[in-house]
Structure 1
Amino acid sequence: MSRRSLHFPAPDAATLRARIDRARSATADAATDALLIGPGSDLRYVIGQAGGSFERLSVLLVPATDAAPTLVVPALEAPGFADVPTGELGVEVVTWVDGEDPYRIVADRLGNPGRVAVSDTMAALHVLRLRDAMAGAEQTLAGPVLRHLRMCKDAAELAALRRAAEAIDRVHARIGEWLRPGRTEAEVGADIAEAIVEEGHTHADFVIVGSGPNGASPHHDVSDRVIEKGDVVVVDIGGPIPEGYNSDSTRTYVLGQPDPKVAEEYAVLQRAQETAVRAVRPGVTAHEVDAAARDILTEAGLGELFIHRTGHGIGLDVHEDPYIVSGNDLPLQPGMVFSIEPGIYRAGQWGARIEDIVVVTADGVEPLNTRPHDLTVLPDDDA
């Protein structure tokens, strides 16, 4: 059986053709003979469809020359690409059936390449057999070529990301409907997942409800832990809207009035997050934005409790370039979209995180999430 990704409305043919042309140019600039793009978000970005089978080889060949791109797909998977305007895109479709060697088909189409770039997430079973079929070709990753095409979003992408942010904000506005003492994290998470769909997503990609000590684990999921009075609760949620672009937002809640020490440290976290957002503008590096948040926490003696990067890019993937992390000297450019999400985590006790998605504008920053950043106090009764 094949694993099919959800089908999302695709950009128009002119947009996709422009993306293919940019991919071709980027391939040539990288001194690479061809891109080999397998199923996933890169393929969705270039032709509007993420692809079908991961067991059988499906791959888009984008030569650095003017030769036509070729979509090599199993015959039984071809109907899944029926909506791709291959004619308008100048893409030739070549199908194969079980018993044929699709890796040889790829090698024959490319001739004798010296260097090819394969999708970062292509399964090893395909990468290694492509290497065998093109023994003279050096294999590199396609990510360094494609990430520069995907990092700066166009107007339609930004509009979709705004809609995604608005949808997840509506879910956060409803957290008080479900989060209360006496319920388990899993019960609350199930209600949130349902609301994520109700508010405009195709599905919930992730739901983190980290109550009490579980909040100190940044990638906690949900558990059977019963939420108690006084708990600090981290709620990190997101998913794709029909266009395929994702939301991701975190807010921190407390059941009843917070302990004074919690309130004091949370106030520092809030200042760190706001400072990092204000630091975003064209020309500033990702490293500098990370430092803007990290320095505030370090000065308050909380730096060792901030154990992850400040942010990640978002688009067709929840996590993509650019990464807002120490050491990344990438200068920010208008159209880049990423999270700003510093956190503090006291192991065995509690945690807190504040996360907004922001866009680099021509002269600054536009936060897409607009829910309040304060530590949200919810009733501590279980009625």
Structure 2
Amino acid sequence: MSVSAAALDVTTMRDRLDRLRARAADAGVVAVVITPGSDLRYLLGVGGSSFERLTAFVVPTDRAVAPVLVSPALEFAGLGHLPLEAVGVEVRTWVDGEDAHALALAGLAAGPVAVSDMTPALHLLQLRDAGATEQRLAGPVLRELRMRKDPVELAELRAAGAAIDRVHARVGEWLRPGRTEAQVAADIAAAIVEEGHAAADFVIVGSGPNGASPHHSVSERVIERGDVVVVDIGGPLPSGYNSDSTRTYAVGAPREPDVAEAYAALQAAQQAAVDAVRRGVTCESVDAAARSVLEEAGLAHHFIHRTGHGIGLDVHEEPYIVTGNDLVLEPGMTFSIEPGVYLAGRWGARIEDIVAVTSDGVERYNTRPHDLAIL
């Protein structure tokens, strides 16, 4: 496990553990087993990834049994700064040759165990062999906590939005005819770090026909005058909370004759979806608000993805703003609003803001202009 830490105070850690235990009890599991990833970062402020040696945080639903952090002895130095004793967490270290998976399960009552969704199969199957024979996904338990951001999380996401806005404000420095998408993306990636991110997690520069592929990354295509260019960028702050924002640019006047009319409909659709966000409405109703505008404009069949995704310690997390999701929005939920239109082989466009549900409406975390930016 590679360790990086975002400090959590003891009160926050205790509160999150208490709420996790309550949710896990309601779900009918005897414990939640969390391996390195965003769930562990949410609970303990520890980043990193899983490797062949097991690191796991085991949280029993029985409050008489202490939570346990299991760590390879050679890696525990990177965790020693955590206020584990103050939070009531027992530490169990192990050395190569010992059965770490059995150590993690020692003392648990018999019954179903929820395991974090991104646990590698290497560890999932060894936990099963060590006694956790009835396994469930922990996602349904943890998403109920992580969907509703607290004020500290909201402040981080607001800061992330402002930082990525500063990068979009500079795109005109790099996006010009004669440069390749890859060259523009390299400059943007450097600026993402310059403007306060820990890293550039993704940079999409989709020029001309490449803009019609929503998840195009970059290529050696040379940008031409008249191109419409989709720029979708983001990454984590040092705290782990992410930005994600898309703006669409034109390098001079667009050469495609239908850009202005279609883009105006897209802009109206994005605004309609933002306007639909408030507590008490469903995710699918926000999706429908964007989709209906594009349908009226005859462009619905060019909108080929959901309207949005949740964001926090992961770029994509609950809640998802998509047809069929009847989840009711509540204050503290944060997600993207990003309708797009994609005309295969010709051009594409997308407008994306991160928004937060408030007690009386919605707050945008991205405030750059939404017009087609002609450079």
The TM-score by the shorter chain falls in which range? over 0.9
Native 8 Å contact 2:33 2:59 kept in 1: yes
CA distance in 1, matches of 2:88, 2:97: 28
TM-score normalised by structure 1 residue count: 0.96
Question: Which residue of 2 is the match for residue 330 of structure 1?
Answer: 327
Native 8 Å contact 1:52 1:80 kept in 2: no
Native 8 Å contact 2:50 2:120 kept in 1: no
1:132-171 Cα deviation digits (max 9, x unpaired) = 1115x41000000000000011111111111000000000
1:197-247 Cα deviation digits (max 9, x unpaired) = 110101100000000011011111111000001000000000111111100
> Could you list the runs of 5+ residues in structure 2 that have no partner in the other structure?
none
Counterpart residue type for residue 85 of structure 2: G
Question: Which residue of 1 is the match for residue 204 of structure 2?
Answer: 208
Tell me by how many angstroms 1:50 deviates.
2.3
Identity within the alignment, %: 68
CA distance in 2, matches of 1:71, 1:52: 15
Tell me by how many angstroms 1:108 deviates.
2.0
| Aligned pair partner of 2:302 in 283, 302, 305 | 305
1:15-34 Cα deviation digits (max 9, x unpaired) = 01110111111111111100
Native 8 Å contact 1:181 1:255 kept in 2: yes
Native 8 Å contact 2:227 2:251 kept in 1: yes
**Matched residue SS, 2:51:** coil
Identify the range of structure 1 (126-135 vs 213-222) with the bigger mean alpha-carbon deviation: 126-135
Counterpart residue type for residue 59 of structure 1: A
Counterpart residue type for residue 278 of structure 2: R
Native 8 Å contact 2:31 2:61 kept in 1: yes
| Aligned pair partner of 2:264 in 247, 260, 267 | 267
Q: Once superposed, which parts of structure 1, at least 4 consecutive aligned residues long, lie more than 4 Å away? A: none
CA distance in 2, matches of 1:44, 1:60: 11
| Aligned pair partner of 1:17 in 8, 14, 32 | 14
Counterpart residue type for residue 113 of structure 1: A
| Aligned pair partner of 2:162 in 162, 166, 179 | 166
CA distance in 2, matches of 1:192, 1:57: 37
| Aligned pair partner of 1:248 in 244, 247, 265 | 244
Question: Which residue of 2 is the match for residue 381 of structure 1?
Answer: none
Indicate yes or no: 2:85 matched with 1:54: no
TM-score normalised by structure 2 residue count: 0.98
CA distance in 2, matches of 1:86, 1:245: 23
Structure 2 vs 1, CA of residues 8 and 103 (structure 1 numbering), >3 Å: closer, same or farther?
Answer: closer
| Aligned pair partner of 1:145 in 115, 133, 141 | 141
> Could you list the runs of 5+ residues in structure 1 that have no partner in the other structure?
379-383
Native 8 Å contact 1:52 1:58 kept in 2: no
Structure 2 vs 1, CA of residues 357 and 52 (structure 1 numbering), >3 Å: closer, same or farther?
Answer: closer
Native 8 Å contact 1:210 1:217 kept in 2: yes
**Matched residue SS, 2:107:** helix
| Aligned pair partner of 2:102 in 98, 101, 104 | 104
Tell me by how many angstroms 1:177 deviates.
0.1
Native 8 Å contact 1:38 1:51 kept in 2: no
Tell me by how many angstroms 1:52 deviates.
5.2
CA distance in 1, matches of 2:349, 2:81: 44
How many residue pairs match? The answer is 373
Indicate yes or no: 2:224 matched with 1:228: yes
Indicate yes or no: 2:175 matched with 1:179: yes
TM alignment of 1:8-47, pairs within 5 A: 8-47=5-44
CA distance in 2, matches of 1:347, 1:113: 55
CA distance in 1, matches of 2:234, 2:223: 22
CA distance in 2, matches of 1:84, 1:107: 22
Counterpart residue type for residue 300 of structure 1: A
Question: Which residue of 2 is the match for residue 291 of structure 1?
Answer: 288
Considering only aligned residues, what root-mean-square deviation do their CA atoms show, in Å? 1.1
Tell me by how many angstroms 1:302 deviates.
0.7
CA distance in 2, matches of 1:101, 1:198: 44
Indicate yes or no: 2:342 matched with 1:342: no
CA distance in 1, matches of 2:349, 2:224: 16
Native 8 Å contact 1:52 1:77 kept in 2: no
CA distance in 2, matches of 1:322, 1:52: 24
CA distance in 2, matches of 1:256, 1:306: 25
Question: Which residue of 2 is the match for residue 91 of structure 1?
Answer: 89
CA distance in 2, matches of 1:48, 1:223: 36
Native 8 Å contact 2:35 2:50 kept in 1: no
Native 8 Å contact 2:276 2:286 kept in 1: yes
CA distance in 2, matches of 1:308, 1:98: 46
CA distance in 1, matches of 2:233, 2:110: 44
**Matched residue SS, 2:304:** coil
